[in-house]
């Protein structure tokens, strides 16, 4: 993507009277880090980037914004929020529209066709992070890593993030402004992660998840980063009644993780943020992709594709399969 | 206090000697490095920078049963705390964090659970020879071979570990394992100095905290808090992984007629943390919570206990999902002063 074009467009968008700010990506504080940027003027727009390191899904900020009570007489700020999205991120925006979590008039969606993102852990393992800012660019067949002035060409296969290997929608499905030409889609890889768990028997699966959930420290970063976990009153925070105890043990951790997986069934758009941010390395993507696969195979439904769709969990068809009912 | 040499070939025997007590050390489990009890025959992983979750869990468990009781019953059953624990391979920053947290737990009230666990733990430290990218311990009063909080310090000298007793507990440990140890020579001590100096040179990040504690109150309404908190997700990663964060919640949890009172880690980054019964929340948004996290570490704690409640381990920087970087925040604080 042409960065000049991106920054120019962003500057135009934030100059609009009906736009409050723009959420995009900027260089982080060191190494390969990229940070969310909240841009209000042309100066800020000049910091924006779009690179193979922009893996995070910024659409979570649309619902994360705090609506505090206003002082008497003060009108709420109803200006739009502009947001940069990749293909996967755009599905979150669409799903939020389906659920009426946001209003179409409230957002300016800036689409960024995405050739695929880098897995940070793989990158840092092979090419250790240094204290200076590094840059990564797309090349015809992979990535160019520029670290401390040293350039290394890396194949796409070596560093591509798992969610991008599995991706079927690299181009934004909804946008007001599209930056650049659509990228060519690729054959999604087989989901080896889900298959690895799937081929275990029921006891094996239970043992697998028991081990994983036992590592959970209940920091709730998966919930908070998730663009579709936006309940104002989350079951996990409730104290009266306490649906999920504060104790951190296998039982409560499982209650939490399974509750989240169920609440996301037919809603998760597979952006992989939960797994990326988990400090306990729990392969949450496997859980959520398994649910997504079930919904797709059984009900032919995929969330985040059509803003006019009925929400999956709130819709019923007489011929819905019900073979799971004992 | 004595200093001895342990040849690395005798390392398994040394570990074997300690397994009579409960031994906790860094280990790789589920592809993740963490402090965990070492079973017989298991080897600790010492070639590491820092565990993701600090070993504070050993003295301040994430979930601790204070006592058990029956609904409608009269008897209260308190778990006994009498098992000695050896924490092996703890990094100097993590050991120092416990000395800092001690001040809070013995302040206006001696916390019996914490105090008892602290008594029962022997801390065997391992000086850092390869500090991590986000380590900044010297900036906040520590160092790659700081001995604060340690009973025994190990320094990796290549073929040998240099073992230095810091306290009576450490001295006792050296006596228990004496048959495996050799006398040190002057050259070893020189080598130690070299290793430590080299490690200190490798630490790249720094912040001069001078002026921050007294300056923070004046920045209460500064626009910097809006800037640094805008991207915060409000998760508990920074606080749960922080070795000095010590906030907890206490709840009664009941299953059938069995109840227990337990305390669990809590996080000031959670909305619920300061939520009043009335529904009012004095820290209503992530801005106030971020400001509190920095103020607690670099202002309130200094005011009360004369020490910064941050050991510069870099965990919150390493693992923040959105690159909120405490060194950068502190730099902005300094600029705004």
Q: What is the pLDDT of residues A98-112, one digit of tens each?
A: 999 999 999 999 999
DSSP A220: -
Task: Give the C-alpha separation, B82 to B116, whole Å.
Answer: 8
Return the number of CB contacts < 8 Å for A and B.
113
**Pick from B237, B231, B233: nearest CA to A36:** B231
Interface test with B, best of A39, A207, A221 (most B CBs within 10 A): A221
What is the reported pLDDT for B19? 66
What is the reported pLDDT for A53? 98
Q: Is residue B114 domain-shared with residue B134, that is, in the same domain?
A: yes
Nearest to A249 among B63, B133, B265 (CB): B63
Residues of B in contact with A211 (CB under 8 A): 30
Say yes or no for a CB contact (<8 Å) between A248 and B321: no
Min Cα distance B202 → chain A (Å) is 11
B185: phi then psi, degrees, rounded to nearest 5: -115, 165
Minimum Cα–Cα distance from A25: chain B residue: B322
Say yes or no for a CB contact (<8 Å) between A211 and B30: yes
- Whether the CB of A78 is below 8 Å from some CB of chain B: the reply is no
**Pick from B87, B117, B91: nearest CA to B311:** B91
Report how far apart, in Å, the C-alpha atoms of A173 and of each of A50, A58, A178 are: 18, 16, 10
Say yes or no for a CB contact (<8 Å) between A56 and B285: no
Q: Would B85 be classed as within a structural domain? A: yes
Cβ–Cβ under 8 Å, residues B27 and B192: no
Please list the pLDDT of chain B residue by residue as tens digits (337 residues). Answer: 789 999 999 998 898 888 678 899 998 877 778 898 888 778 888 878 889 999 999 999 999 999 999 988 889 999 999 999 999 999 999 999 999 999 999 999 999 999 999 999 999 999 999 999 999 999 999 999 999 999 999 999 999 999 999 999 999 999 999 999 999 988 999 999 999 999 999 999 999 999 999 999 999 999 999 999 999 999 999 999 999 999 999 999 988 889 999 999 999 999 989 999 998 999 999 999 999 999 999 999 999 999 999 999 999 999 999 999 999 999 999 999 9
Pairing of strands A142-147, A150-155: antiparallel
Nearest to A35 among B240, B319, B322 (CB): B322
**Pick from B246, B225, B242: nearest CA to B291:** B225
Cβ–Cβ under 8 Å, residues A39 and A24: yes
Task: Give the C-alpha separation, A160 to B19, whole Å.
Answer: 43
Half-sphere exposure of A155 (CA within 13 A, CB side): 2
Q: Provide CB contacts within 8 A for B200, sequence distance 6+.
A: B138, B143, B144
Residues of B in contact with A212 (CB under 8 A): 30
Minimum Cα–Cα distance from B286: chain A residue: A66
Q: How far apart are the two ends of chain A, measured CA to CA in Å?
A: 52
Nearest to A248 among B235, B264, B272 (CB): B264
- Whether the CB of A217 is below 8 Å from some CB of chain B: the reply is yes
Of B202, B231, B262, the last residue of a domain is: B202
Residues of B in contact with A28 (CB under 8 A): 323, 325
Q: Would B207 be classed as within a structural domain? A: no
**Pick from A228, A274, A29: nearest CA to B324:** A29
Task: Give the C-alpha separation, B296 to A174, whole Å.
Answer: 43
Q: Would B266 be classed as within a structural domain? A: yes
Task: Give the C-alpha separation, A78 to B304, whole Å.
Answer: 44
DSSP A147: E
Degrees, nearest 5: CA angle B224-B230-B233: 135
Nearest to A220 among B53, B63, B236 (CB): B236
Nearest to B31 among A60, A277, A281 (CB): A281
Say yes or no for a CB contact (<8 Å) between A130 and B133: yes
Q: Is residue B66 domain-shared with residue B188, that is, in the same domain?
A: yes
- Residue at token pair 């070492």: B38
Task: Give the C-alpha separation, B228 to B286, whole Å.
Answer: 10
**Pick from A202, A172, A199, A205: nearest CA to A84:** A172
Cβ–Cβ under 8 Å, residues B133 and A130: yes
Q: Is residue B47 domain-shared with residue B102, that is, in the same domain?
A: yes
B112 lies in which domain range? 3-202
Q: Provide CB contacts within 8 A for A213, sequence distance 6+.
A: A250, A253, A254, A257, A282
Domain count, chain B: 2
Q: Is residue B49 domain-shared with residue B178, that is, in the same domain?
A: yes
A324, pLDDT greater than 90:
no
Containing H/E element for A22? strand A19-27
Min Cα distance A98 → chain B (Å) is 23
Q: What stretches of chain B adopt beta strand conformation (E)?
A: 3-7, 22-29, 32-37, 63-70, 76-77, 85-90, 121-126, 152-156, 160-165, 181-183, 248-255, 258-265
Min Cα distance B287 → chain A (Å) is 10
Min Cα distance A325 → chain B (Å) is 28
Q: Is residue B61 domain-shared with residue B198, that is, in the same domain?
A: yes
Task: Give the C-alpha separation, B182 to B160, whole Å.
Answer: 10
Residues of A in contact with B265 (CB under 8 A): 248
Interface test with B, best of A38, A56, A219, A239 (most B CBs within 10 A): A219
Question: 3-class DSSP state for residue B200?
Answer: helix
Containing H/E element for A25? strand A19-27
Min Cα distance A35 → chain B (Å) is 6
Minimum Cα–Cα distance from B202: chain A residue: A131
Q: Would B58 be classed as within a structural domain? A: yes
Half-sphere exposure of A289 (CA within 13 A, CB side): 23
- Residue at token pair 């998840």: A209
Q: Provide CB contacts within 8 A for B248, sequence distance 6+.
A: B60, B263, B264, B265, B266
Size of chain A, expressed as the number of residues it contains: 326
Beta bridge partner(s), residue A156: none
Nearest to B264 among A68, A131, A247 (CB): A247
Minimum Cα–Cα distance from A240: chain B residue: B277
Say yes or no for a CB contact (<8 Å) between A247 and B133: no
Task: Give the C-alpha separation, A134 to A127, whole Å.
Answer: 11
Q: Is residue B17 domain-shared with residue B158, that is, in the same domain?
A: yes
Q: Is residue B140 domain-shared with residue B220, that is, in the same domain?
A: no
What is the reported pLDDT for B77? 94
Quote the tokens at residue B23. Answer: 């031994």
Q: Is residue B196 domain-shared with residue B220, that is, in the same domain?
A: no
On the question of a cis peptide bond just before residue A241, with omega within 30 degrees of 0, the verdict is yes
Q: What is the mean pLDDT of residues A4-32?
A: 97
- Whether the CB of B264 is below 8 Å from some CB of chain A: the reply is yes
Of B202, B230, B252, the last residue of a domain is: B202
Say yes or no for a CB contact (<8 Å) between A277 and B240: no
Cβ–Cβ under 8 Å, residues B299 and B213: yes
- Whether the CB of B319 is below 8 Å from some CB of chain A: the reply is yes
Q: Is residue B310 domain-shared with residue B216, that is, in the same domain?
A: yes
Residues of B in contact with A36 (CB under 8 A): 230-231, 322
**Pick from B34, B235, B287: nearest CA to A222:** B235
DSSP B50: -
Q: Provide CB contacts within 8 A for A69, sequence distance 6+.
A: none
**Pick from A53, A46, A59, A51: nearest CA to A4:** A46
Q: Is residue B142 domain-shared with residue B220, that is, in the same domain?
A: no
Q: Is residue B183 domain-shared with residue B232, that is, in the same domain?
A: no
**Pick from B182, B124, B185: nearest CA to B155:** B124
Cβ–Cβ under 8 Å, residues B163 and B5: yes
What is the reported pLDDT for A67? 82
Of B174, B202, B230, the last residue of a domain is: B202
Indicate the angle between helix axes A250-263 and A202-214, nearest 10 degrees. Answer: 110
Q: Is residue B17 domain-shared with residue B142, that is, in the same domain?
A: yes
Say yes or no for a CB contact (<8 Å) between B235 and A221: yes
Minimum Cα–Cα distance from B205: chain A residue: A131
């Amino acid at each position: 993507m042409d960065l000049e074009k991106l920054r120019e467009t962003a500057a135009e968008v934030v100059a609009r009277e009906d736009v409050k700010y723009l959420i995009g990506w900027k260089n982080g504080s060191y190494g390969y880090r990229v940070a969310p940027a909240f841009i209000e003027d042309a100066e800020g727009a000049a910091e924006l980037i779009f690179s193979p390191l922009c893996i995070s899904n910024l659409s979570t900020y649309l619902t994360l914004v705090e609506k505090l009570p206003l002082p008497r007489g003060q009108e709420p700020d109803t200006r739009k929020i502009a947001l940069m999205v990749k293909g996967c991120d755009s599905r979150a925006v669409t799903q939020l529209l389906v659920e009426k979590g946001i209003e179409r008039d409230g957002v300016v969606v800036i689409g960024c066709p995405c050739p695929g993102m880098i897995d940070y852990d793989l990158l840092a393992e092979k090419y250790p992070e240094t204290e200076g800012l590094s840059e990564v660019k797309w090349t015809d067949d992979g990535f160019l890593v520029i670290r401390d002035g040293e350039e290394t060409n890396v194949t796409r296969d070596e560093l591509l993030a798992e969610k991008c290997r599995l991706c079927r929608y690299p181009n934004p499905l909804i946008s007001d402004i599209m930056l650049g030409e659509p990228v060519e889609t690729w054959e999604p890889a087989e989901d080896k992660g889900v298959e690895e768990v799937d081929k275990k028997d029921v006891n094996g699966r239970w043992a697998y998840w028991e081990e994983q959930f036992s590592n959970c420290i209940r920091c709730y970063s998966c919930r908070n980063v998730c663009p579709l976990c936006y309940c104002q009153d989350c079951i996990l925070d409730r104290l009266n009644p306490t649906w999920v105890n504060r104790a951190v043990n296998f039982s409560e951790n499982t209650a939490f993780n399974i509750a989240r997986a169920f609440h996301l069934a037919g809603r998760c758009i597979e952006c992989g943020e939960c797994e990326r941010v988990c400090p306990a390395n729990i392969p949450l993507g496997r859980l959520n992709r398994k649910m997504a696969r079930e919904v797709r195979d059984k009900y032919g439904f995929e969330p985040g594709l059509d803003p006019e769709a009925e929400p999956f969990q709130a819709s019923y068809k007489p011929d819905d399969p019900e073979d799971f009912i004992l | 206090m004595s200093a001895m040499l342990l040849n690395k070939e005798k390392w398994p025997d040394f570990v074997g000697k300690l397994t009579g007590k409960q031994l906790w050390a860094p280990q790789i489990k589920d592809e993740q490095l963490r402090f965990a009890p070492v079973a017989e025959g298991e080897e600790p992983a010492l070639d590491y920078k820092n565990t993701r979750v600090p070993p504070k869990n050993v003295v301040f468990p994430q979930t601790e049963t204070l006592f058990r009781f029956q609904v409608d019953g009269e008897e209260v059953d308190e778990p006994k705390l009498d098992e000695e624990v050896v924490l092996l391979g703890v990094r100097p920053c993590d050991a120092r964090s416990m000395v800092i947290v001690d001040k809070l737990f013995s302040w206006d009230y001696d916390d019996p659970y914490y105090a008892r666990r602290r008594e029962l733990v022997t801390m065997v430290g391992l000086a850092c020879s390869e500090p991590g990218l986000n380590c900044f311990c010297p900036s906040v009063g520590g160092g790659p071979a700081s001995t604060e909080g340690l009973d025994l310090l190990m320094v990796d000298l290549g073929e040998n570990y240099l073992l230095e007793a810091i306290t009576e507990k450490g001295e006792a440990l050296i006596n228990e394992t004496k048959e495996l140890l050799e006398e040190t020579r002057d050259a070893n001590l020189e080598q130690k100095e070299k290793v430590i100096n080299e490690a200190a040179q490798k630490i790249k990040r720094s912040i001069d905290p001078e002026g921050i504690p007294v300056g923070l109150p004046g920045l209460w309404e500064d626009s910097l808090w809006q800037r640094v908190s805008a991207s915060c997700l409000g998760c508990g990663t920074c606080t749960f992984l922080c070795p000095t964060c010590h906030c907890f919640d206490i709840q009664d949890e009941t299953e059938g007629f069995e109840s227990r009172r337990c305390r669990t880690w809590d996080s000031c980054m959670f909305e619920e943390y300061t939520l009043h019964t009335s529904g009012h929340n004095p820290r209503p948004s992530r801005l106030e919570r971020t400001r509190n996290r920095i103020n607690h570490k670099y202002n309130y704690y200094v005011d009360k206990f004369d020490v910064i409640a941050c050991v510069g381990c870099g965990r919150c920087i390493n693992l923040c999902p959105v690159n909120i970087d405490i060194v950068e925040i502190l730099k902005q604080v300094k600029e705004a002063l």
